[in-house]
Structure 1
């Protein structure tokens, strides 16, 4: 039996320098990383990390989007009054509502509203990207697995519950104001969306100089098809990407065309489904209008019209706050 095992079996226990250093690193790294992730979440979504944590627990642990408030207190290690105040603020923001428990008058259920569910799903890719950037990118797979196993032992030994992360949420990526569920490679697809968006004005400007009248008719036909697919969002986006492949074919810059098509393929080949959110239908109508204007701008060959249409199509550089806390 090792000396460390013997120390774990007896009390009081001797605290060696290695253990003390590890504890300080966990404490300090946790504070730094949480601060950075929280700031990024606030900046890009308007949702605090604490609020995201509450939405996460209700979404994953609740039944039909509802969870006893006592369960939140148990999982989040906050006081009853602290949880109550936070839930009240989220209720004011329209993310949650309270319902009396049918089984226990002393307890209430905290319930996700439609807005709360939408905000949570759209904020999840922002959260995951921030975690990867400020935590995962600095560690190897083996180091992450080792840290996860070690800290899980501490949690369970101190009366905490085992943490299970749903794979469904790991597959989400924001696409404009919609949320896509992917088959794999979420980080790669997020990067592909960002780079494709940056290249698109250059590609559209070049395509507008070489597009043919027959190609314009083909593009208008695709837009007309998209108008019939509002209730089939996966097919809507596949038609959207077909339109952009057609446009790319008229770009005479071979390097630009090849890069663009590769990025588009990275996205389209990994689409599993479009997550149903309350804003989805109006958003698809908005994108339909954007693409109709895009086709007409390209067909005109006018550089200013093409630039304006490309700007309207561009959505990854400007982040939209998903929610504003009361009083903001």
Structure 2
């Protein structure tokens, strides 16, 4: 029995206890399934992928102490993990420039390539074992509840924007510089042109252009915490794909629509699912590049369909409205 400041709260009831048990068991089950998929399909342990993701988020380098703080491993566990990954060429360990008693863990080019290769596998597995079991509304509600557990119930307030200048964009919301209705039509038209443009580009993609696309997706992975820059990088990737399209009329029209959207961006609204959504978009764009590299029309079509953000615009508007109500209450 706890005592003093560490005494357990006496208001724990059977409902809350059962909720905790379900969260614990569901998490363990999903992690097991994702771990199995990564081992069998990608040939990499989930723990390695987690370390590569943390390093990518940090720009490629973390000290072992920082890695310890951002992971669920013990100090000795992080050290052993980094050593094994170094032996596989995924990371390098170097004396820290800031603390000679510590080591920096640095993601190698091979590690970057593995991250891009495994990213889509990981997200497909998460969707299969977790995302597909939940509706959009259920996933949004679960995110809010779990954020309360992680961060507490306080939410930092954000100034409410003029609703006429908010553009639902996939599962997030963009604040734009003009009335949003024409921009919705522009976004929908641009999305309708995506498939023919990418199919054409895939047939004329050169190896140097493909290498540039892969490097660009990697650079997008470092912008997860800079949403405006992420979206600008997203649109630049599509410009690079469009540059390989030989249909001049299609390419010109597509780029003009894309530029119209990009030129009106003020900033990205902070909805509660934003970071997770950007990771999802990153995986989708990695999938598009892989499909383009394959040159297979069916793979290109499936990737472009996954990229379609217009079908979830109403959901994005609902998410934003729910967030506003939560902040105002």
Larger radius of gyration: 1
Tell me the TM-score normalized by structure 1. 0.48
Tell me the TM-score normalized by structure 2. 0.48
